[in-house]
């Protein structure tokens, strides 16, 4: 198994998982259109982290034109340029699937406000 782990560890990116579940994140995703390459930004709520190792994925949910959209990103993919956190969320679960059934203000995740003493 050690050989397999070392092959996988070559491809696993460092410090990509800089967010936590409940955070609002921006995923910078490279798109190839013919010959040009551009970066698309997808912003939404980090709903769940799944799998392990090379195939680790994050589910990101956003409301687009009144319709809930969920996209699953493989976080070790070379197509993901970076992931930025725009807002920290305060949640008590690892999977926020209950958000799907909520509408309006009930679907909101409270912002995590840290004490100044904890930040250090």
Partner 1 sequence: MLSLIGKKVGMTQVFDETGVLTPVTVVKVEENVVIANKSIEKDGYEAVVLGSIERKEKHTTKPVAGQFKEGVTPKRKIVEVRDFGKECAVGDTFGVELIEGVEFVDVIGTSKGKGYQGVMKRHNFGGGRKTHGSKFHRANGSTGMAATPSRVIKGTKMAGRMGGERKTVQNLQVVKIDTERQVLLIKGAVPGTKDSFVIVRKAKKL
Residues that bind partner 1 (CB under 8 A): 1, 3-4, 6-8, 11, 30, 32, 54-55, 74, 76-79
CA-based nearest residue to 51, from 29, 74, 67, 68: 74
CB of 2 to partner 1, least distance (A): 9
- The nearer residue to partner 1, 77 or 85, going by C-beta atoms, is 77
Distance, in Å, from the CA atom of 107 to the CA atom of 90, rounded to the nearest integer, reads 13
CB of 102 to partner 1, least distance (A): 33
CB of 17 to partner 1, least distance (A): 16
- The nearer residue to partner 1, 3 or 106, going by C-beta atoms, is 3
The answer to whether residues 37 and 30 touch, using CB atoms and an 8 Å cutoff, is yes
Distance, in Å, from the CA atom of 75 to the CA atom of 46, rounded to the nearest integer, reads 12
- The nearer residue to partner 1, 77 or 107, going by C-beta atoms, is 77
97 contacts: CB under 8 Å, gap ≥ 6? 47, 48
């Amino acid at each position: 198994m050690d050989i397999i782990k070392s092959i996988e560890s070559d491809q696993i990116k460092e410090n990509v998982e800089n967010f936590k579940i409940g955070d609002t994140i921006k995923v910078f995703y490279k798109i190839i259109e013919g010959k040009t390459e551009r970066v698309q930004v997808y912003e939404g709520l980090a709903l769940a982290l799944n799998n392990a190792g090379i195939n680790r994925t994050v589910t990101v949910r956003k409301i687009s034109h009144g319709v809930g959209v969920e996209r699953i990103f493989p976080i070790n993919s070379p197509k993901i340029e970076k992931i930025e956190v725009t807002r920290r969320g305060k949640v008590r679960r690892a999977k926020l699937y209950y958000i799907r059934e909520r509408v309006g203000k009930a679907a909101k995740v409270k912002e995590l406000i840290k004490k100044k003493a904890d930040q250090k």
